[in-house]
């Protein structure tokens, strides 16, 4: 308690003395810049203007400047003179140690590295300040020269995007004598547009190519003038010619002559492609292609195998020439192509059997009118064996749960660029007991899997060329999982076949579309043990609900299904792009009987069902490391044909770290039907113990993400959603989906999050509380039940979620 008081007092001291009065350390004529806002923009993106600021204002939060407060507080402990003395001391020690090492060069190098690292850290500390100064913000004292540079940059930018007649000025507003608010007033006026496009190309062969591809030009009559578009058009023409054999062609040959004097608000553009000194650009043809698949060992000759016009050279041929041929787009007799060069490198890289690959060219003497190149493809093999180990900790039900996994990849197993993956995993996780509401049970889970992938689509009666341009893979998968908890023990055996391929917008861009077709998936679930208390709970639920769906799902079963998964993603790992994500899963289970194959294994329960699950996400950058993201996730699953039960694992669930975060994992729903209520000390309270499997899913999230400092990011979010049954259930009124009331049964939660962006991983802490609970008795608006003191206690109002990565 005493420590808590001390910490509280320290926080009050920092933000009281240094934050609430952000101007206390300013000079008499100094003003603190706290805001720059662009006004009047109609067509231009404001974030583009904000990126041009030559002086960043201090951030103000609720009338105080917390980042400036941290900087000022840290400056109290900052003494650059002492840091310099430490630097001088380290240099003197280094000199002494090096003298003592004498002629031992290895020891001298070790000493230099050690002291150089120390000195670098001290110099960074001297330059950037101590930790508090680095996470804070130095005072943004208004600088009129920086503001003038900002206005110059805005003028340059607006001119570059066609607004030559724009007007831009700024006004200053000073509050409390020291706080400076700047407003940039911009009147875009009428933009200039392309009115005429022409060419000046003396090389007739190049002129013919450019005119034949004019329909793909990025410059079109009527478009607003844009220098970035001119630059992109230069790149297009450059790539066009580099892919037509012009090996020596350079961007410097391409120029644009722009005339804005012809007519008001118009720009005439002439595309100029100059000729080299010798008169014409030369077209080069590929003569010979050599593919080298191992590291040079000088003095030892390589063996050569010729296959479809390519010479494969190696000391020992470890890779199938038939497979490598499918990844090579460069052949003798072709004109040189930069595109085919890049696609060859990308396809070889996607094999994941080479550590590095490149393509080099050498000019070969030809005749006066012919020019030749020899192509040399160099591929350095990756390690045969690669081991990856992961150790981590989950945090559920306020208890830690350690887990570990190890994965071994064996490359080029059968000399056809096949990869074998073997994995083992195990861990513990805490969950609320199903049969004992007051206790937390520990779930023990362990398992393993083996996957073998081939770099082709393996389908009978084909020549392995199917989808060869889309990085195809065929993957055979088998797995084993054992789940052991107090209520039951289940074992799952899996066997699957996947066909995977991907596409990009253009061959040189990363793939944005992935397709996964799984024609064969078999799961055998064996329930080895069910406690008597859990069995009684299942039977009681069946009686109360009038349905044996849940009880049937906990029997040993044979599940077969086929599925198709499509993923469209234009984002990256950091989720910092203006991007979209769409995934949809379609799954049909147990249809072997309809296909003429009656599968009956012992007394295993079989299922027939259908499932579809679309998921859409949108990511919008707002500038200054701020982002808005939202998600809509839906789904429907239903028994089919003669089956009336859905497998438990094929249900939809809501609640948890990647769903509606104010509810515990899998505990939200069903509809407006409350699972159970219990009486505690005479009060009737909602029981959130049981998982709530549903057949209809509808959930969405909206999240505002912002940077706090350095690697620490924050988020404010709102989640909404629920799960329902498809059909009406007399034992569970309000649990079924109905169009006339589903919108009243959308649960809503809100909260804030802290995310540690550690480059390779994002560690996430999200605190969420319920706002609207459709299953609550009485008032469904429950936000007033939030108590800050109960955040770290077990309660049904607030949930703390800890996860790896973003929630969506």
Q: What is the pLDDT of residue 10?
A: 45
What are the distances in angstroms from CA 576 to CA 48, 570, 579, 719, 753? 15, 11, 8, 21, 17
Number of Cβ within 10 Å of residue 731's Cβ equals 13
Q: Does the reported pTM lie above 0.85?
A: no
Which tokens go with 621?
């950058």
> What's the burial of 357, exposed, middle or buried (CB within 10 Å: 0-12/13-18/19+)?
buried
Q: What is the pLDDT of residue 1?
A: 41
Q: How far apart are CA 638 and CA 589, in angstroms?
A: 10
Distance from first CA to last CA of the chain, Å, rounded? 38
* Residue found under tokens 């650009």: 281
User: Can you tell me whether residue 13 is helix, strand or coil?
Assistant: helix
Q: What is the pLDDT of residue 127?
A: 87
> What SS3 string covers 314-340?
ECCCCCCHHHHHHCCCCCCCCECCHHH
Count helices and strands (H / E) in the chain. 13, 30
Taking alpha carbons only, the member of 746, 747, 757, 748 closest to residue 715 is 757
Q: How far apart are CA 404 and CA 649, in angstroms?
A: 23
Say which residues have a Cβ less than 8 Å from residue 420's Cβ, sequence separation at least 6.
409, 410, 413, 450, 451, 452
Q: What is the pLDDT of residue 394?
A: 63
Q: How far apart are CA 225 and CA 549, in angstroms?
A: 64
Q: What is the pLDDT of residue 351?
A: 93
Q: What is the pLDDT of residue 793?
A: 65
Q: How far apart are CA 107 and CA 98, in angstroms?
A: 8
User: Can you tell me whether residue 137 is helix, strand or coil?
Assistant: coil
Q: Is residue 611 a contact partner of residue 670, using CB atoms and an 8 Å limit? A: no
> What's the burial of 462, exposed, middle or buried (CB within 10 Å: 0-12/13-18/19+)?
exposed
pLDDT in tens, 76-95: 888 889 999 999 999 999 89
Taking alpha carbons only, the member of 409, 412, 420 closest to residue 316 is 412
Q: How far apart are CA 552 and CA 556, in angstroms?
A: 9
Max CA distance (Å), the chain: 102
What are the distances in angstroms from CA 628 to CA 39, 359, 579, 786? 21, 42, 11, 26
H or E, element range at 98: helix 80-101
Q: Is residue 223 a contact partner of residue 155, using CB atoms and an 8 Å limit? A: no
Distant-in-sequence contacts of 359-365, Cβ < 8 A, 24+ apart: 359/330, 361/247, 361/336, 363/284, 364/287
Say which residues have a Cβ less than 8 Å from residue 635's Cβ, sequence separation at least 6.
611, 612, 613, 614, 652, 696, 697
Helices (H), 392-546: 532-545
Taking alpha carbons only, the member of 664, 663, 636, 632 closest to residue 650 is 636
Q: How far apart are CA 609 and CA 590, in angstroms?
A: 7
Number of Cβ within 10 Å of residue 475's Cβ equals 18
H or E, element range at 107: helix 105-128
Q: What is the pLDDT of residue 8?
A: 39
Q: What is the pLDDT of residue 14?
A: 45
> Which runs of E-coded beta strand occur in 504-578?
513-530, 557-569
Count, residues in the chain: 808
DSSP category for residue 186: E
φ, ψ at 755 (rounded to 5°): -125, 130
> Which runs of E-coded beta strand occur in 279-437?
284-292, 303-307, 310-314, 354-364, 371-381, 385-396, 399-411, 419-432
Q: Is residue 207 a contact partner of residue 254, using CB atoms and an 8 Å limit? A: no
Q: How far apart are CA 271 and CA 248, in angstroms?
A: 20
pLDDT under 70: residue ranges of the chain: 1-22, 393-401, 430-441, 540-553, 593-602, 675-689, 789-795
pLDDT in tens, 601-627: 667 888 889 999 999 999 998 877 889
């Amino acid at each position: 308690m005493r420590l808590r008081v001390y910490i509280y007092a320290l926080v009050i001291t920092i933000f009281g003395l240094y934050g609430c009065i952000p101007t206390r350390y300013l000079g008499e004529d100094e003003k603190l810049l706290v805001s720059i806002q662009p006004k009047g923009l109609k067509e231009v993106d404001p974030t583009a203007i904000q990126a041009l600021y030559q002086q960043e204002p201090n951030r103000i939060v609720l009338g105080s400047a917390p980042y400036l407060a941290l900087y000022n507080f840290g400056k109290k402990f900052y003494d650059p003179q002492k840091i310099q003395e430490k630097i001088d001391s380290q240099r003197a020690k280094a000199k002494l140690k090096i003298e003592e090492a004498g002629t031992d060069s290895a020891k001298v190098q070790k000493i230099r590295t050690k002291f150089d690292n120390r000195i670098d850290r001290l110099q960074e500390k001297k330059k950037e300040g101590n930790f508090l100064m680095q996470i804070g913000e130095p005072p943004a004292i208004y600088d009129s020269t920086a503001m003038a540079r900002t206005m110059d940059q805005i003028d340059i930018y607006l001119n570059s995007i066609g607004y030559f007649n724009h007007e831009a000025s700024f006004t200053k507003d000073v509050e409390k004598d020291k706080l400076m608010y700047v407003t940039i007033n911009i009147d875009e006026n009428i933009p200039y547009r392309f009115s005429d496009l022409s060419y000046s190309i003396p090389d007739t062969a190049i002129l013919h190519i450019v005119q034949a591809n004019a329909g793909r030009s990025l410059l079109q009559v009527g478009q607003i003038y844009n220098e970035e578009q001119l630059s992109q058009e230069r790149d297009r023409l450059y790539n066009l010619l580099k892919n037509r054999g012009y090996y020596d062609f350079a961007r410097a040959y391409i120029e644009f002559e722009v005339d804005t004097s012809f007519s008001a608000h118009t720009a005439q553009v002439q595309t100029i492609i100059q000729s080299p000194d010798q008169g014409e650009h030369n077209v080069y043809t590929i003569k010979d292609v050599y593919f080298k698949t191992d590291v040079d060992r000088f003095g030892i000759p390589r063996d050569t195998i010729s296959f479809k016009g390519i010479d494969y050279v190696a000391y020992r041929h470890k890779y199938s020439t038939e497979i490598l041929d499918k990844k090579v787009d460069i052949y003798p007799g072709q004109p040189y192509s930069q595109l085919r060069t890049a696609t060859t490198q990308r396809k070889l890289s996607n094999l994941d059997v080479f550590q590095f690959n490149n393509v080099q060219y050498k000019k070969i003497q030809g005749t006066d009118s012919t020019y030749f190149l020899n192509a040399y493809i160099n591929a350095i093999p990756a390690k045969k064996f690669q081991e990856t180990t992961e150790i981590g900790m989950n945090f559920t039900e306020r208890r830690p749960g350690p887990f570990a996994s190890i994965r071994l990849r064996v490359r080029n197993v059968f000399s056809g660029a096949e990869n074998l993956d073997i994995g083992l995993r195990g861990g513990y996780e805490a969950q609320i007991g199903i049969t004992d509401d007051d206790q937390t049970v520990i779930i023990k889970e362990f398992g393993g899997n083996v996957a073998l992938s081939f770099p082709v689509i393996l389908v009978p009666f084909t020549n392995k060329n199917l989808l060869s341009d889309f990085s195809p893979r065929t993957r055979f998968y088998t797995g084993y999982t054992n789940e052991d908890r107090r209520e039951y023990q289940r074992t799952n055996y899996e066997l699957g076949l996947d066909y995977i391929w991907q596409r990009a917008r253009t061959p040189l861009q990363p793939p944005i579309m992935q397709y996964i077709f799984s024609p064969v998936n078999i799961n055998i679930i064996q329930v080895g043990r069910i406690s008597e208390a859990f069995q009684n709970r299942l039977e009681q639920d069946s009686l109360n609900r009038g349905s044996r769906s849940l009880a049937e799902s906990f029997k040993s079963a044979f599940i077969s299904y086929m599925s198709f998964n499509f993923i469209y993603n234009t984002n990256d790992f950091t989720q910092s792009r203006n991007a979209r994500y769409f995934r949809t899963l379609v799954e049909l289970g147990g249809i072997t009987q309809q296909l003429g194959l009656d599968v009956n294994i012992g007394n295993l329960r079989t299922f027939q069902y259908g499932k579809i699950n679309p998921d859409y996400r949108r990511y919008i950058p707002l500038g200054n490391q701020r982002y808005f993201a939202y998600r809509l996730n839906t789904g429907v699953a239903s028994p089919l044909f003669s089956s009336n039960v859905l497998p438990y694992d094929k249900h939809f669930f809501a609640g948890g770290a990647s769903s509606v975060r104010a509810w515990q994992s899998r505990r939200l729903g069903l509809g407006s039907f409350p699972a159970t209520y219990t009486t505690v000390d005479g009060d009737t309270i909602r029981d959130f113990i049981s998982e709530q499997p549903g057949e209809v899913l509808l959930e969405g999230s909206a999240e505002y993400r912002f940077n706090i400092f350095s690697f620490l990011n924050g988020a404010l979010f709102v989640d909404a959603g629920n799960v329902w049954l498809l059909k009406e259930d007399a034992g569970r009124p309000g649990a079924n989906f109905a169009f006339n009331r589903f919108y009243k049964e959308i649960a809503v939660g809100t909260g804030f999050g802290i995310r540690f962006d550690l480059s390779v991983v994002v560690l996430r802490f999200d605190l969420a509380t319920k706002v609207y609970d459709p299953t609550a008795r009485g008032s469904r608006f429950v936000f007033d039940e939030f108590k800050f003191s109960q955040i770290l206690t077990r309660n049904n109002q607030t949930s703390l979620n800890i996860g790896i990565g973003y929630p969506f």
